[in-house]
Chain A
Amino acid sequence: GQQVMQIPQYQHVQEGEDFTTYCNSSTTLSNIQWYKQRPGGHPVFLIQLVKSGEVKKQKRLTFQFGEAKKNSSLHITATQTTDVGTYFCGSSSGGYQKVTFGIGTKLQVIP
């Protein structure tokens, strides 16, 4: 896998506020994947970005992959309590998808 750094580690937001988590690497990434882990649960795949400058949206979630393919972001618009969880970015290498994860950003949404 390819090393990725993720910030912030924790974020508390008021319900309705926006939230962003960032993922960075010192090397060019072949791809970036985002997962969400609810408290007590297991990670669930959200999306994969592959192309330079790629932007994908899933309802209130917007994912971006940097032009240099060294950074990525996940932005949530108007957070809801259902968004609570830890968001992990990861990058895979090798033909069999060995994924190395960032430390994760734990999101708390205050009602």
Chain B
Amino acid sequence: GESVGLHLPTLSVQEGDNSIINCAYSNSASDYFIWYKQESGKGPQFIIDIRSNMDKRQGQRVTVLLNKTVKHLSLQIAATQPGDSAVYFCAENIRTGGFKTIFGAGTRLFVKA
């Protein structure tokens, strides 16, 4: 079915450490996978995307890895900062009549100073 899930609901890291947020997906018809960040009281904010024919993409302090064999997606944040504290959602873009985005359950990241 169409579902995107996460392994861990919360993640606590020390400031300066690297963070890894994981996500499992089940739909094989996705053309893009996306990570969004949602801070309290705000709407989700686009972080980075990866096309389904890629296995790694890097942005500023973030890296997304895609393993299609095991249907696994991860977001790595380097040198985590207090401003990175938020809920992170993985999402997939699926072509079904039109394109639609399905969000996973979310992981809350706490950064300890």
Report if A and B associate in a common complex: no
Listed in ascending order, the chain B residues whose CB lies under 8 Å from chain A are none
